[in-house]
A and B are shown apart, each in its own frame.
Chain A
Amino acid sequence: MARLLQVYLDSQVDETTAEAVAQHLRDCGDCGLEARTYRAIKRAVARRSVPTPEAVRRLRTFAEELLNRDQGEHSV
Chain B
Amino acid sequence: MIEDSPPIVRIEKITKVFPENNVRAADSVSLELYPGEVRSLVGENGAGKSTIMHILSGNLAPNSGSIRLNERRVRFSSPGDAILEGIVMVHQHPPLIPDFRVWESLFLGIEPTRFGFIDRRTCIATLERICEQYGLSFDPRARVADLAASQLHLAAIAGALLRKPRVLILDEPTAPCTDPEVETIFSVIRAAARKGVAVVLITHKIREVMRISDTITVMRNGRVVTTVHAAETDGSAVSAAIMGVERPAGPKASTKNETATGSREDTGQPSAIGAHPRLSVESLSLTVNRREVLRDISFTVGAGEVFGVTGIRENGLEFLEDVLAGLIAPTRGRMCIDGVPIARYSPREFRRHGISYVPTDRIFRGASLDSSVTENLILNRRHRLGFAGVFDRDTVRGFAGSLMNRFDIVGHAHGPLRTLSGGNIQKVILSRELAHPGPIVVFSEPSWGLDVRSRDMMYAEIHRLRADGHAIVLISVDIDEVLELADRVGVMYAATMIRTLTGSDRSRKKIGELMLGLADRTTGGILR
Q: Do A and B come from one complex?
A: no
Interface positions of B (Cβ within 8 A of A): none
Interface positions of A (Cβ within 8 A of B): none
